[in-house]
Amino acid sequence: MSNCTLKKVIHHHGVHNLDKKQLTLRINKSNINDVVKSIGPPSTKSKFDNDLYIYIERKTTGSKLTKLGKKKLLLNNVLVLEFDNKGMLISKKFYNKDQMNKLKFDDSTTNLNYTKRSFINDFLFSLRQRIDDPLGKKRNRSND
């Protein structure tokens, strides 16, 4: 009984206090070295036209016994930083849990439109037949 506690266990993943640390960063004033010094190495790094650093902070806790131990999300912060080719901060976007819930995703799906016997369909069908029966023996037996 001495190991039991009434406090909830909080699981923390990522950079602690990301919301406060990101306030010290200034666009066109901070560089990569300043960012790494104040926040640390990024959770994810990407390189397209410019460098993109992504920092993540997530806090969860176990819920009530009636929820069968399902985790409850307390905090979910994401910071996206973009640097130019000289290492200067050119864009800073901070998202918290409420802002992420407001993001809209497109629900539409892409429909595939195939004609019954298109050229590609015929080609793939004949290719499959040749793979299944390279010598053509099965086709000759079905005609007998």
Over residues 118-135, the pLDDT tens digits come to 666 666 767 777 777 766
d(C-alpha 123, C-alpha 82), whole Å: 46
Non-local (6+) Cβ contacts of 13 within 8 A are 56, 57, 58, 59, 60
- Model-level pTM greater than 0.85? no
pLDDT in tens, 39-56: 999 888 887 667 889 998
Cα torsion at 82, 83, 84, 90 (round to 10°)?
70
d(C-alpha 34, C-alpha 52), whole Å: 15
Q: Which residues of 84-108 are buried (b: 16+ CB within 10 A; e: fewer)?
A: eeeeebeeeebeeeeeeeeeeeeee
- Domain borders along the chain are 10-99
CATH classification (class only), 10-99? alpha beta
Across all residues in the chain, what is the average pLDDT?
A: 77
* DSSP 8-state secondary structure symbol assigned to residue 128: H
